[in-house]
């Protein structure tokens, strides 16, 4: 029997929290959401937890996600983030390099200047010798991924070079940027906090 989670109309990160709770107690979970961001977030939770899932779209923009715990999940679907280093990990500072872009301006003082600097920074990041493994955009930082931002082509180039780009879903929602971003993956606080807590190096321009 599949446990039913009705997350229609729930705001981020509620659908993910409800799904995670259900997965902790059940092997099969069916989630209903009516929002594309929620759909992506639940799908991502399922895949990082080693579960298989199937999505069907019902009438009226409702998505049904059938999640099953995978065989690899050893009886329990492990939804807790993996520790960065197993016991006896040789290097304490190992871990991905994460660039945190918490604003669309670089530095504090003059925002016109800051916006200019941030554009130059993002452009420069594409050709850095030591590119980050991941870039996380939140608050006004997500504006840089908008189609009309002037930086979206640089973010696409970074993705092509293997940099993972996470955009805060709550922020996308707040700035009404849904469907208006041209790069990056809309993400949630689980992924963002998880990535920050397991990073080897965090760079905040």
Partner 1 sequence: MSGDKTYCVALFDSVSHVMKAEKLLKEADIPYKIIPVPRSISADCGVCVRFLPEQKETVMEALRLHIHVREIREL
* CA atoms of 61 and 9, how far apart (whole Å): 11
Stretch that binds partner 1, among 7-15, 123-131, 173-181, 186-194 (CB under 8 A): 123-131
What are the residues whose beta carbons fall under 8 Å from the beta carbon of 75, sequence distance 6 or more?
none
* 147/197 with CB nearer partner 1: 147
Q: Which of 113, 128, 193, 196 binds partner 1 (CB under 8 A)?
A: 113
DSSP 14-71: HHHHHHHHHHHH-SEEEEEE--HHHHHHHHHHHHHTTEEEEEEE-GGG-EEEEEEE-G
* 76/120 with CB nearer partner 1: 120
- Does the N-terminal peptide bond of residue 13 adopt cis geometry, omega within 30 degrees of 0? yes
Min dist. Cβ of residue 172 to partner 1 (A): 23
* CA atoms of 30 and 80, how far apart (whole Å): 20
* 3/153 with CB nearer partner 1: 153
Stretch that binds partner 1, among 46-54, 112-120, 133-141, 169-177 (CB under 8 A): 112-120
Which position has the token pair 């500072």?
93
Token pair in block for residue 162: 């293997």
Q: Which of 64, 68, 85, 123 binds partner 1 (CB under 8 A)?
A: 123
Site membership for partner 1, residue 82 (CB under 8 A): no
Considering only residues 162-181, where is the footprint of partner 1 by CB under 8 A? none
Site membership for partner 1, residue 127 (CB under 8 A): yes
* CA atoms of 183 and 158, how far apart (whole Å): 9
Site membership for partner 1, residue 73 (CB under 8 A): no
Site membership for partner 1, residue 150 (CB under 8 A): yes
Query: Cα separations (Å) of 148 from 77, 155, 181, 201?
Result: 40, 12, 9, 30
Site membership for partner 1, residue 111 (CB under 8 A): no
**Residues at the contact surface with partner 1, assessed by CB under 8 A:** 112-113, 116-117, 119-120, 123-124, 126-127, 150, 153-154, 157
């Amino acid at each position: 029997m599949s446990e039913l989670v009705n997350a229609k109309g729930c705001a981020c990160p509620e659908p993910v929290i409800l799904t995670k709770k259900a997965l902790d107690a059940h092997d099969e979970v069916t989630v209903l959401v009516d929002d594309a961001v929620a759909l992506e977030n639940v799908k991502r939770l399922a895949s990082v937890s080693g579960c298989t899932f199937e999505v069907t779209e019902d009438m009226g923009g409702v998505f049904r996600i059938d999640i099953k715990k995978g065989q690899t999940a050893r009886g329990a679907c492990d939804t807790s983030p993996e520790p960065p280093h197993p016991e006896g990990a040789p290097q304490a500072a190992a871990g991905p390099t994460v660039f945190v872009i918490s604003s669309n301006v670089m530095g504090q003082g003059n925002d016109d200047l800051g916006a200019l600097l941030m554009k130059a920074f993002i452009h420069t990041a594409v050709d850095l010798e030591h590119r980050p493994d991941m870039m996380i955009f939140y608050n006004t930082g997500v504006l840089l991924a908008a189609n009309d931002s002037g930086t979206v082509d640089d973010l696409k180039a970074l993705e092509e070079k293997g940099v993972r780009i996470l955009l805060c879903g709550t922020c996308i929602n707040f700035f009404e940027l849904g469907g208006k971003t041209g790069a990056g993956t809309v993400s949630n606080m689980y992924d963002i906090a998880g990535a920050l807590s397991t990073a080897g190096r965090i760079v905040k321009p």
